[in-house]
Amino acid sequence: MEHLREELDELNNQLLEMSCLVVSSISQSVNAVINRDKEAAETVFQNEIQIDQLEILIDNLAFQLLALQQPVAVDLRFITMSMKINNNLERMGDIAVNIAQRALSLLKMGPLMPQIDIPHMARLAQDMMSDSINAFVHRDPDLAKTVLKSDDAVDNLRDQMYNEILKFMEADPSMIHPGIDHIFIARGLERLADHATNIAEDVLFFVQGIDVRHHAQPI
Amino acid sequence: MEHLREELDELNNQLLEMSCLVVSSISQSVNAVINRDKEAAETVFQNEIQIDQLEILIDNLAFQLLALQQPVAVDLRFITMSMKINNNLERMGDIAVNIAQRALSLLKMGPLMPQIDIPHMARLAQDMMSDSINAFVHRDPDLAKTVLKSDDAVDNLRDQMYNEILKFMEADPSMIHPGIDHIFIARGLERLADHATNIAEDVLFFVQGIDVRHHAQPI
């Protein structure tokens, strides 16, 4: 039993390390876009290698725990939650890579479209990511519910942005290429918010044993 | 023990039903694009509801099996594989919805850009999807390895397409809006291929106990 406890702690700690890496990657990718910072983009590509390794390590750890310890009840819920959060974190790392690639593409062109408020959308999505991870760290269902409520705001912002970017592209063909980069950055931030939502749903299932996926009402 | 066997069969059957629904959704979404078929798009939106319900049902079934039967060895690997494949299938269903939405958007504009070979890319990605599911159905590691080898072809095709679409958009501003739809359809197909790759990797882990994620060499 004590051995199980130690291994569950280990799983928890590895997941926290993974979270820190992914938060840092997303933050650097947003920096790369907003501050036209090539080095920040390079950091994201470096982090990616470590994130991929950590994903496999965490998955193996969870599988070994299931195989050797035959956990039940809350421990079992914790392990299955960990596997899902791990998967979402890895995909967030991929999104950071995509955003960093778009940042490098934009570096070859003019400055960021000042009318398109990428920083605002980035802040919203990053807040959702931090809140979902904190909800996991502190097993906090209220914080998880806050995340679920924020998802619509990010979706609305994305729709609004798409239309504005499209207008700029139509008015000036030299804006087409950077416009597409902007659209993909907005899309990446929207998907980041989706993964934060997934993590919040997993935390709620873990803490309260309720399943709120696919637009079931958060209680 | 017999009860465990029955529940594992049930899990397998539900996963097959989910696979059929998702394959049909993707196929209808591609029809909606290529044949400008509004009804096909509607079918995709209808399927989505069922896919979301099935995802939760399969996840619960897998969790109950872990909780009540304490499976080991190959049964445990099967259950964890099922949870992962389930997750990938649900995301493939989301991609079908995205593609169907783009199809409806294109319906309001001119015909498909004839020079951009969406049908070819769709065929490649759909073949990867079918092969990955068949690899799961028949527990066929060789077929799973075929899927892993196809992923680069889809990525190359996408890069080539992006550049061509960009040229059309720059030459004729009325192509900007449909061009963006084309880009998102290509992006959806690329992600479909990625999920097929994930499923193939999960099948290999299940059948052979080897982990080939993140560009480890398929053997």
Q: Rounded distance, CA B19 to CA B82, Å?
A: 11
3-state secondary structure B88-116: HHHHHHHHHHHHHHHHHHHHCCCCCCCCC
Q: Rounded distance, CA A154 to CA A156, Å?
A: 5
The reply to whether A91 touches chain B by the CB within 8 Å rule is: no
Q: Which amino acid is at B99?
A: I
Average pLDDT, integer, range B93-121: 91
CB distance B70–A70 less than 8 Å?
A: yes
Q: Which amino acid is at A107?
A: L
Q: Give tens-digit pLDDT for B24-57.
A: 999 999 999 999 999 999 999 999 999 999 999 9
Q: Measured between alpha carbons, how far is residue A44 from residues A17, A27, A28, A100, A134 in Å?
A: 16, 9, 6, 7, 22
Q: Give tens-digit pLDDT for A169-196.
A: 999 989 999 999 999 999 999 999 999 9
Average pLDDT, integer, range A146-160: 93
Q: What is the pLDDT of residue A219?
A: 40
Residue B214 DSSP code: T
Q: Rounded distance, CA A107 to CA A101, Å?
A: 10
Q: Rounded distance, CA A141 to CA A135, Å?
A: 7
Tell me the residues of chain A between 150 and 169 that have a Cβ less than 8 Å away from chain B: 166, 169
Nearest to B76 among A66, A211, A214 (CB): A66
- Interface probe with A: pick from B169, B184, B197, B212, most Cβ of A within 10 Å: B169
pLDDT at residue B137 greater than cutoff 60: yes
| Chain A residues with CB-CB distance to B80 below 8 A | 63, 66, 83
The reply to whether A180 touches chain B by the CB within 8 Å rule is: yes
Q: Give tens-digit pLDDT for B59-88.
A: 999 999 999 888 888 899 999 999 999 999
Contact present, B29 and B41 (Cβ < 8 Å): yes
CA-based nearest distance B47→chain A, Å: 14
Nearest to A213 among B56, B73, B170 (CB): B56
Nearest to B180 among A55, A67, A183 (CB): A183
Q: Rounded distance, CA B53 to CA B61, Å?
A: 12
Q: Rounded distance, CA A137 to CA B38, Å?
A: 46
Helices (H) and strands (E) in chain A, counts: 6, 0
**In chain A, which residue's Cα lies nearest the Cα of B211?**
A56
**In chain B, which residue's Cα lies nearest the Cα of A214?**
B52
pLDDT tier, B210 (very low <50, low <70, confident <90, very high otherwise): low
The reply to whether A64 touches chain B by the CB within 8 Å rule is: no
ipTM for the whole complex: 0.88
Contact present, A36 and B53 (Cβ < 8 Å): no
Sequence-distant (6+) residues with CB within 8 A of B35 are none
**In chain B, which residue's Cα lies nearest the Cα of A187?**
B184
CB distance A166–B183 less than 8 Å?
A: no
CB distance A80–B83 less than 8 Å?
A: yes
| Chain B residues with CB-CB distance to A64 below 8 A | none
Contact present, A25 and A48 (Cβ < 8 Å): yes
Contact present, A154 and A193 (Cβ < 8 Å): yes
CB distance B166–A173 less than 8 Å?
A: no
Contact present, A139 and A203 (Cβ < 8 Å): yes
Q: What is the pLDDT of residue A69?
A: 86
The reply to whether A104 touches chain B by the CB within 8 Å rule is: no
Q: Which ranges of B138-209 does DSSP label H, i.e. alpha helix?
A: 141-171, 176-208
| Chain B residues with CB-CB distance to A63 below 8 A | 76, 80
**In chain B, which residue's Cα lies nearest the Cα of A182?**
B180
Q: Which amino acid is at A27?
A: S
Q: Rounded distance, CA B12 to CA A211, Å?
A: 22
Contact present, A99 and A30 (Cβ < 8 Å): yes
Specify the DSSP element, H or E, that contains A135. helix A118-137
Q: Rounded distance, CA A90 to CA A71, Å?
A: 25
> In the structure encoding, which two tokens stand for residue B207, read together?
């059948």
| Chain A residues with CB-CB distance to B164 below 8 A | none
Classify residue A24 by burial, with Cβ atoms within 10 Å: 0-12, 13-18, 19+: middle
pLDDT at residue B95 greater than cutoff 80: yes
Specify the DSSP element, H or E, that contains B209. none
Q: Rounded distance, CA B138 to CA B10, Å?
A: 16
Q: What is the pLDDT of residue B113?
A: 82
Tallying the residues shown for chain A, one arrives at 219
Q: What is the pLDDT of residue A217?
A: 46
Nearest to B56 among A55, A80, A211 (CB): A211
Q: Rounded distance, CA B214 to CA B207, Å?
A: 18
Q: What CATH number does domain B2-208 carry, 2.60.120.380, 2.40.50.140, 3.30.565.10, 1.20.58.220? A: 1.20.58.220
CB distance B170–A176 less than 8 Å?
A: yes
pLDDT tier, B218 (very low <50, low <70, confident <90, very high otherwise): very low
The reply to whether A72 touches chain B by the CB within 8 Å rule is: yes
Give the residue extent of every domain in chain A.
Answer: 2-208
Q: Rounded distance, CA B32 to CA B119, Å?
A: 12
Q: What is the pLDDT of residue B139?
A: 93
CA distance from start to end of chain B:
34
Tallying the residues shown for chain B, one arrives at 219
10 Å Cβ neighbour count for B217?
A: 6
Determine the 3-state secondary structure of B65 from DSSP. Answer: helix
Q: Measured between alpha carbons, how far is residue B173 from residues A32, A62, A201, B177, B182 in Å?
A: 29, 52, 42, 8, 15
Q: What is the pLDDT of residue A218?
A: 42
Average pLDDT, integer, range B208-212: 70
Query: For tokens 């912002």, what's the residue?
Result: A157
